Amino acid sequence: MSRYSVEVRIVPREGILDPQGNAVGGALRSLGFDDVGEVHVGRLVRLDVEAASEEEARERGREMCRELLANPVTEDFDISVREAAGSAA
Amino acid sequence: MSRYSVEVRIVPREGILDPQGNAVGGALRSLGFDDVGEVHVGRLVRLDVEAASEEEARERGREMCRELLANPVTEDFDISVREAAGSAA
């Protein structure tokens, strides 16, 4: 078993209203960032887990998204995994 | 000028209390994800900008963090940039 760092990125699904993104986009433009296009705001979850392989760590991340982290109706997520520094192989 | 997709990841600075991360960690463990270690919850901002180069797009992202997106006292951020699909070079 090794420790893996899992990063989960959760964003509003394409086509779903993103009021927070719109607010941030408006604020950026009013600060002079005129050329900013669409803005989406999501959540980032970083955690580490014990797993036998990178693929298992990724699958644990997916389960966490389905059970708690992401709203399956309105959000999409993607996951990246890397072996944690100093992990015993 | 090309369009670049900029992704900004903002997380609580190392050593700063992260109550949201602690709450998510507790919830995951109570759902049976026993081996979850520390959890950090941050924000993810995806946007696109017009810029002459990838480095310029990254610098615009940094400015946005300093002026609006991140709290310079309590948060760290990192930025990744890629050329937007279908961008005119």
Summarised one tens digit per residue, pLDDT across range B40-57 is 999 999 999 999 999 999
pLDDT at residue B89 tops 70: no
Q: Provide the pLDDT for residue A88.
A: 54
What's the pLDDT tens digit per position in A53-64? 999 999 999 999
Q: How far apart are CA B86 and CA A74, in angstroms?
A: 26
Q: How far apart are CA B2 and CA A61, in angstroms?
A: 35
Interface probe for A, chosen from B24, B36, B47 (most Cβ of A below 10 Å), is B47
Question: Which domains does chain B carry?
Answer: 2-83 (3.30.1280.10)
Beta strand spans in chain B (E): 2-12, 39-51, 75-83
ipTM value, please give it.
Answer: 0.89
Cα angle, residue A34 at apex, residues A31 and A38 outer, rounded to 5°: 105
Q: Provide the pLDDT for residue B88.
A: 54
pLDDT at residue A87 tops 90: no
- Judge whether B69 is closer than 8 Å to chain A, CB to CB: yes
Asked if B41 lies within 8 A of A41 by C-beta distance, the reply is: no
